[in-house]
Structure formats: structure tokens, C-alpha cells
Amino acid sequence: MDPATEFRRNAEECRRMARTTFDRADRQTWNTLAERWTRCAEFAERQMRAAQLMAQARAGSPRRDGRIAGRPQQAA
């Protein structure tokens, strides 16, 4: 399982815990933890996308705009 999915699962578990507690301070703590896990998931997703782009650039694979990644564009 990828880290982002695991982080999102942890965030959902924290949200469930927040819903089940009666203590306001505990609820806030669980919600804060859920927000942090969500930010970790977003960060992990950005890191994975960046790594994929770097791998594509190293391989010289075509980009969406049709140019070859890592090569300068020639003047027309």
C-alpha cells in the first residue's frame, strides 16, 4: 500500500475517534491529528508525482505538450 493511502486511512480513523469522544479537548486533538495525517498524505502524493516526473525526464519520455522532457526547445 502506498504511503498516501495509509496516511488517509489514519486520518479517517482519527475523525472516527473524534466523533465518538464526548470530551471537547479530546475531540479537538483527534481532529488536529486527522488534519496532520491529511497533510502528510498530500505531501506524499506530491513527492510521488515529482519522483515520477523526474523518472520520465531521465528516460527522455515525451511530455504532454509533445516535447521531449529534459531537452531544450529549438527556436523556429
- Distance CA(54)–CA(70), nearest Å, equals 9
SS3 62: strand
Which residues, given as ranges, of the chain have pLDDT below 50?
none
Give start and end residues of each alpha helix (H) in the chain. 3-20, 24-59
Q: What is the pLDDT at residue 18?
A: 98
64 occurs within a structural domain: no
72 occurs within a structural domain: no
For the chain, how many structural domains are there in total? 1
Instruction: Assess if residue 33 is contained within a domain.
Output: yes
pTM (global) more than 0.85: no
What pLDDT, on the 0 to 100 scale, is given for residue 76?
A: 52
Q: 61-72 pLDDT, tens per residue?
A: 565 666 655 556
> Given this model, what pLDDT does residue 8 score?
98
The answer to whether residue 24 sits within a structural domain is yes
Domain span holding position 34: 3-59
